[in-house]
A and B are shown apart, each in its own frame.
Chain A
Amino acid sequence: MAVAVGRQSNEELRNLSLSGHVGFDSLPDQLVNKSTSQGFCFNILCVGETGIGKSTLMDTLFNTKFESDPATHNEPGVRLKARSYELQESNVRLKLTIVDTVGFGDQINKDDSYKPIVEYIDAQFEAYLQEELKIKRSLFNYHDTRIHACLYFIAPTGHSLKSLDLVTMKKLDSKVNIIPIIAKADTIAKNELHKFKSKIMSELVSNGVQIYQFPTDEETVAEINATMSVHLPFAVVGSTEEVKIGNKMAKARQYPWGVVQVENENHCDFVKLREMLIRVNMEDLREQTHTRHYELYRRCKLEEMGFKDTDPDSKPFSLQETYEAKRNEFLGELQKKEEEMRQMFVMRVKEKEAELKEAEKELHEKFDLLKRTHQEEKKKVEDKKKELEEEVNNFQKKKAAAQLLQSQAQQSGAQQTKKDKDKKNASFT
C-alpha cells in the first residue's frame, strides 16, 4: 500500500499567530521540572601538584567539608581518586563527583604523568559510549561520569608555566574543558599577578592549548562572560576556616600581617571562579562535554573500529551492514581459532598417547625382566635345595651305614669277647 505523505517544504515554515492563550509557554517549566526530579550530574577533575590546595578549594567552592586525607608525596605514580557526593540546595539535587590526581608532579621522572589522567577521561567516555550502543539501554537514568570541567592548578611561581603544565594541558585540551587557575594566589603580589597572568595566557596561546571559552553567544550571559574572561586564569585562595571580620564571620586565611578574605574580590578571584563555574556556565560545560568532546571521542573510536559513514563510492553506509560484516568477520575468526585449537589439542593428545605407550612398553619389559630374574633365582634356590637334600640324604646314608658298621663292629666285638670269654672259659675248664 502506498504511503504518500504530503509535506510542506521545510523552507516555508509558516509562522502562525495565535488568537488566544494556548498554554505551551509552560514547556520550559515542564522541562525544568523533569530535570529537577532527575537531578543533575556534575563531574570536576582537579589536576595539580600535591599540596597545592585542590581539596581545600573544593571544600570552599561547595561550602561543605568533603572528607579526605591529605596525600603523601611518596606516590610512585599518578593515580586518580574519584569521590561522589550528593548535594542538595532548595529543590535541586546535584550528584557531584570530584576526581583528584594523587601524586601529580611528585615523581622524579614525570614523563608519564599525564597518561593516567587521559586514560581515566577516556574510560568515562567509553563507558558512556558502551551504554549508548547497547541494544536495551537506559540513558535517562544513567549516572554520567564524564568529566565536565577540569580545573588545572598552576603553581604560584610568578614566572611562567612549567613544562609539565604545558604538556599535560596540551594532552587534555581536546578531551575536556580546561579552566586554568592560579592556586595559593595569596603568595603573589598584585603587580606580579598581572604579569604572571598575561605571561600564562600568552604561553597557552603560543603553544596552541585550547582552554574552555566562556560562551558569548547568549545575550543574557555574554556580557558577564566577556568581562570574566579577561581575568583568566583566576587567581584563587581557598579556605574553610572562618575569621571574624568586622562583625561577621567570613572565610579567610589569617596571617600575622593581615587577613586574606576568600570572598573579597579585591583579594582574589574566588568569587569569579564560583560564578563562572557554577552559577553561570554549569549547563554549558555539560553541553560542551557532550556535544564536542564526547562526539569527538565517539567519532575517533568508531572510525578506529572500522565504521564509516560513506563507503568509497560515497553511498551512505548503513551501520547495520558494517556491523553485520564485522560480526561475520569476527565469527569467522573465532571459528578459525577454534579449529586451530582443536588441531593442536588432537596433536597433543597423540603425542601424549605415544609417550604413554612407550612408558607402558618399558614397564612391561621391566616386569618381564623381573619375572625372569625371579624365576632364575627360584630355580637356583631349588637347585641348591636339592643339592642340600641330596647331601643330607647322603649324610644320612653314610650315617646309617656308619651306624650299621659300628653296630656290626660292636656285635662282632661282643661276639669276639664272648668267643674270647668262651674260649677262656673253655680253656679254664
Chain B
Amino acid sequence: MDPLRRSPSPCSSSSRPPSPRTPPPCEAQGYVGIEAVLDQVKIKAMKMGFEFNIMVVGQSGLGKSTMVNTLFRSKMWRSSLPSLGVPTLQTLQLQSMTHVIEEKGVRLKLTVTDTPGFGDQINNDKCWDPILGYIKEQYERYLQEEILITRQRHIPDTRVHCCIYFVPPTGHCLRPLDIEFLQRLCRMVNVVPVIARADSLTIEEREAFRLRIQKDLRTHCIEVYPQKCFDEDINDRLLNSKIRERIPFAVVGADREHLVNGRCVLGRKTKWGVIEAPTSRT
C-alpha cells in the first residue's frame, strides 16, 4: 500500500519544488467554499453548548462569592456570613453549584466550586489536600469515561478549567500558605491569582504589592495562567505578555446597585465615595 506521499500543488503560475514535509499553502484559483466550514463549526458548537468549571479558593471574608456574582452578573451565590458561636468547619468541604446561563444564543453550563474553610483553621497544614483530591477526582472521572469500550458521544466535562486564588490584601507579599498552595496547584490546573478586596489598597500600594507578588511567583517557579510554555505563536506571546504584566489582578466585587450621578451602577458605597465595579481599574 503506498505510504502517504506529500506533493505540492502548483498554484497560479509559480511552481514550487517538492518539499518532504508539509507542502506550502496554495490559493485556490476560484472560490471553493472551504471557509464555510467555520460557520459549520460555529453552529455545531452553539448547538452543543459550552461547559466551564471554575473553582474559587481563598479564606472566608475575602469576597469570593461576591466576586463570582459580579463576574457573571447574577445572584449565583448567597454570601454566607459565619455566625458567631458556630465552630468553624473541621474539614474543608467543597461546594459546587451548576447553572446554565445564556447570552446571545450561546449556552454556557457554568459550575462554580467554592472552598469554604480554606485557610481558616489554626493549623492549616495540608489544607490543600481536599482541593487537589477533588481536581484529581474530576480528571479520573473523565479518564474512566474516555477509556470505556462504548464511549458516550459527548463526555460530560467536569474537570476544573480555572482556579481563582484570592490573595488577601496585606500589602506585603505572599504568605507561606499562599506559596505552598500555588506551587502545588499550578502544576495541575490553570491558576489565576487575584488580589481580593483591592479597594483597601491605594493605587501605589497596589502596584507595589503587585510587583512583589510577581517577584515571589518567579522566585518560587509558580507558573500561573497564561503559562509561558503553552504560548503557540508570536501573537499569543504578545497578548500573553501583556496579561502577565497585570497579574495578579486586583479586583473589587460588588453586587449592589447604587445611584451615581444619575446612573445606576454596581458598586460599593463607602463614606468617601462609591467604587464602581465594572469600571474599577484592575
Residues of A at the B interface (CB closer than 8 Å) are: 1-8, 10, 13-25, 27-29, 31-32, 35-37, 40, 61-67, 79-94, 97, 116, 119-120, 123, 145, 218, 220-221, 274-275, 278-284, 287, 291, 295, 298-299, 302-303, 307-309, 318-319
Contacts and interface: CB of A to CB of B under 8 A. Distances in A.
A15 B23 contact: no
Interface of B: 1-11, 22-38, 40-47, 50, 52, 71-76, 91-106, 108-109, 113, 126, 129-130, 133-134, 137, 144, 147-151, 153, 232-233, 266, 278
A394 B23 CA distance: 109
B99 A1 contact: no
A34 B34 CA distance: 16
A80 B4 CA distance: 10
A245 B2 CA distance: 41
A80 B31 CA distance: 29
Contacts of A82: 2-5
Nearest to A95: B22
A65 B102 contact: no
Given A16-B101, A92-B34, A37 B6 contact: no
Contact of A145 (B4, B10, B33): B4
A83 B8 contact: no
Contacts of B44: 283-284, 287
A31 B41 contact: yes
Given A5-B96, A15-B100, A309-B150, A83 B6 contact: yes
Contacts of B52: 24
B43 to A, nearest CB: 6
B36 A282 contact: yes
Contacts of B9: 64-67, 85-87
Given A123-B1, A218-B43, A92 B73 contact: no
21 contacts: A3-B91, A5-B95, A6-B93, A10-B98, A16-B72, A22-B71, A24-B50, A25-B106, A27-B50, A31-B42, A66-B9, A67-B7, A82-B4, A83-B7, A86-B25, A87-B32, A87-B34, A116-B1, A279-B36, A302-B149, A309-B149
A282 B43 CA distance: 13
B157 to A, nearest CB: 14
Nearest to B147: A319
Q: Identify the 10 closest CB pairs spanning chains A and B, nearest first.
A: A283-B40, A20-B73, A88-B25, A25-B104, A279-B33, A63-B30, A279-B36, A3-B130, A92-B35, A63-B28
A87 to B, nearest CB: 6
A139 B107 CA distance: 27
Nearest to A14: B99
A309 B147 CA distance: 9
A158 to B, nearest CB: 31
Nearest to B76: A16
A6 B97 CA distance: 8
A295 B150 CA distance: 8
Contacts of B30: 63
Contacts of A93: 25
Interface core residue of A25, A79, A291, A307 (most chain B CB under 10 Å): A25
Contact of A1 (B92, B147, B149, B151): B92
B6 to A, nearest CB: 5
A287 B47 CA distance: 14
Given A82-B2, A82-B4, A295-B150, 12 more contacts: A3-B92, A4-B94, A16-B76, A20-B73, A21-B73, A28-B42, A35-B38, A64-B29, A65-B9, A83-B7, A89-B31, A280-B40
B126 A1 contact: yes
Contact of B37 (A8, A62, A274, A282): A282
Given A6-B93, A86-B23, A283-B40, A28 B106 contact: yes
A295 B151 contact: yes
A303 B108 CA distance: 36
A92 B91 CA distance: 52
A81 B91 contact: no
A251 to B, nearest CB: 9
